[in-house]
Amino acid sequence: MSESDQRYLLHVAAAAVRAEVEGRPRPSLDPQRWPDPTPRGAFVTIHHFGRLRGCIGTFRAVRPLPETVQEMAAAAVCDPRFVDDPLRPDELPDLDLDISLLSPLVRTNDPLSLQVGLHGIFFRRGESSGCYLPHVATEAGWDARTFLSHCCATKARTSPDAWREPDAEVYLFTTEAIHGRFCDAERGD
């Protein structure tokens, strides 16, 4: 993806974050700016001085990428983990934005084949599901087995070994990461 397209997606995310924090409607997107209608899943992560302030995403690719990024950025502001400590307008200048563009999910019959740092995981068993982006394992220093176990226990709220069960579904995916400072992204830099 070109640097210009990355800057545009960061700008879309920043505008959506500001609108959500300030309780305004999201700005309209110019369909001519992004003529590729191919849907793609994405996650948007918000940090304030290195502290997580929101992370929401979708694997369901149903809209053009800028629309997905805009929706996920607004949703990240409302991340349920921070309902008691919502983002404030005075935090905006010091935010970092990360956009993770997702590859399609690929089901694996050998979960331990995942490559730490390259693959993210999506786990599902019955009504329980959870996912981790690829960088989580690297940052935590986890091997593949620990990555899978943490996803099951903390994200899907199942037993740590649920990924081994015959009815468990484990999917792998990769991401293309885009990072930017909120203030730069808002200006379109």
pLDDT over 80 (residue 149): yes
Q: Based on the domain organization, do 22 and 95 belong to the same domain?
A: yes
The Cα–Cα gap between 164 and 7 comes to 41
What CA–CA distance (Å, rounded) separates 5 from 21? 24
DSSP 8-state secondary structure symbol assigned to residue 176: E
Q: What is the CATH number of the domain that holds 47?
A: 3.30.700.20
126-142 pLDDT, tens digit per residue, is: 999 999 999 999 999 99
Residue range 47-94, pLDDT digits in tens: 999 999 999 999 988 889 999 999 999 999 999 999 999 999 999 999
* 14 and 63 inside one domain: yes
Range of the structural domain that residue 147 is part of: 106-173
Is residue 21 domain-shared with residue 93, that is, in the same domain?
yes
Q: What is the number of structural domains in the chain?
A: 2
> pLDDT by residue (tens digit) across 42-55?
999 999 999 999 99
Same domain, 183 and 151: no
Same domain, 121 and 98: no
**pLDDT number for residue 31:** 82
Q: Taking Cα atoms as reference points, which of 133, 126, 137 lies closest to residue 159?
A: 126
Percent of the chain at pLDDT exceeding 90 = 88
| CATH number of the domain that residue 145 is part of | 3.30.1490.150
Tens digits of per-residue pLDDT, 14-30?
999 999 999 999 999 98
Return the pLDDT at 186. Answer: 86
